[in-house]
Amino acid sequence: MKITHYLCGIGLLTGTLLSCSSDPPKKDHITVEQDESENSLTTNFDGKIFSIPSPILTMLLLKKVNPVFQSELLNPSSKVDRYQTEHKRALLLGVYGADLGYASIYKDKKNILDYLVVVEKLTNSLGLDASFDQRFIDRYQKNTNNSDSMLYIVSDAFKNADLFLKNGQRKSVSALILAGGWTESMHFATALAEKKPQNQELLERIGDQKQTLATLIALLEENNKASSNDELIRYYKELSVIFQAIKVNYEYNQPETDAEKKTTTLKHTVSFEINTETLKAITEKITAIRQHIIG
C-alpha cells in the first residue's frame, strides 16, 4: 500500500526537494513527484510547505469500512451558539466541516442541511462568508445525490477560506480550522477502528497520521497567538508520544527519472503496524482532545 508520507512537500516539488524553506527555486530545477499526491492537501505557512493527508480520502474509507451512518459521532449542531471566541469558532469550523463531510458521504440530507447552516454561521462570524456564499450553497445542494461531488465542493470552499485567511495575515485562524478538522476526522476513524480492529486499511490510515500530527504541532506552535494554543499543543504532543509506538515499515524502490521532463517519481512504500494497546491509547487521547475542543 503506497502512502504519501513526508512533511516538507507533496506532489510536485520545485528546487530539487523543497526543504521547508523560503528559498526561491532554482531556474533549472528538478521536479519530484510522489505516488498518490492527490491524496494530500498542501499548505504554505511563511514560505514553509506542509502536507496534510486529504480528509476526503478518510471519509471515503469510513463509508467503505462501515456503510452505516452513525449520527452519534457528530458534534451536535445545536451547540454552535455556545462557541463565542474566535479561537473556539475556528476550531469548531474545522470540526463541523468534517461533520458536514461525514454526513455528505452518507447522503444524510437532514444532517447535511443542519451542518450547512452551522458552517455558514461560523464562516460568517469569522469573516469567511465569501468562501461559503450562496453560490457554494447552490452548488452543494445541486449535488446532494453525488457524495463525491459534495465532498470536493466542501474541500474547495475550505481551500479558498484558507487562502483568504493567509492573505489577510490570519494564519492562526487557518491553523485552528485545520486542527479541528483533523481531530474530528481522527475521531471518526478511531471510533470505527475500535469496532473493526482487524481492518488493515483503516489501521494504515490512522498510522499514516503520525507525520500529520507533527505538522499540526509545528503549525500551532508557529501561529500561537497570545499563547492561546498552549493547551492544545500539549495534548497533541502527548498524542505524539503514543504514536511513537507505531511500527513503520519502509520499503525502498528505485525512483523513476525522466531526463527530458526533468522529473523523478518516488516509488517507495510505507506501511504501519499498530497493536491493540497502542490503538486504544490513541483512541482515548483523541477522545480527550476532541472533548477539549468541543466542550
66-113 pLDDT, tens per residue? 999 999 999 999 999 999 999 999 999 999 999 998 998 999 989 998
Those residues with Cβ within 8 angstroms of residue 132's Cβ, 6 or more apart along the chain or in another chain = 119, 120, 123, 157, 161
To 10 degrees, what angle do helices 171-195 and 55-65 make?
A: 20
Q: Which three cell numbers stand for residue 113?
A: 442541511
Cα(3)–Cα(215) distance, integer angstroms: 16
Q: Report yes or no on 25 lying in a domain.
A: no
Structural domain containing residue 127? 31-294
Q: Are 59 and 73 in contact (CB under 8 A)?
A: no
Q: Specify the number of domains making up the chain.
A: 1
Residues β-bridged to residue 50: 43
Q: Report yes or no on 80 lying in a domain.
A: yes
To 10 degrees, what angle do helices 276-294 and 171-195 make?
A: 140
Which segments of the chain have a pLDDT < 70? 1-56
Q: Report yes or no on 243 lying in a domain.
A: yes
- What's the pLDDT score for residue 237? 98
Q: Report yes or no on 21 lying in a domain.
A: no
Residues β-bridged to residue 32: 13, 264
Checking phi first, is residue 20 left (phi over 0); if not, alpha (psi -120 to 50) or beta? left
- What's the pLDDT score for residue 150? 79
Q: Which three cell numbers stand for residue 228?
A: 492561546
Q: Report yes or no on 5 lying in a domain.
A: no
- State the SS3 of the chain: CCCCCCCCCCCCECCCCCCCCCCCCCCCCCEEEECCHHHEEEEEECCEEEEEECHHHHHHHHHHHCCCCCHHHCCCHHHHHHCCCHHHHHHHHHHHHHHHHHHHHCCCHHHHHHHHHHHHHHHHHCCCCCCCCHHHHHHHHHCCCCHHHHHHHHHHHHHHHHHHHHHCCCHHHHHHHHHHHHHHHHHHHHHHHHHCCCCHHHHHHHHCHHHHHHHHHHHHHHCCHHHCCHHHHHHHHHHHHHHCCCEEEEECCCCEEECCCCEEEECCEEEEECCHHHHHHHHHHHHHHHHHHHC
Amino acid, single-letter form, for residue 131: S
CA dihedral angle for residue 118, residue 159, residue 149, residue 124, rounded to 10 degrees: 20
Question: pLDDT digit string (tens) for 168-177?
Answer: 778 888 889 9
Q: Report yes or no on 26 lying in a domain.
A: no
Residues β-bridged to residue 34: 266
Q: Report yes or no on 133 lying in a domain.
A: yes
- What's the pLDDT score for residue 149? 81
Q: Report yes or no on 6 lying in a domain.
A: no
Burial class (CB in 10 A: 0-12, 13-18, 19+), 24: exposed
- What's the pLDDT score for residue 111? 94
Q: What is the mean pLDDT of the chain?
A: 79
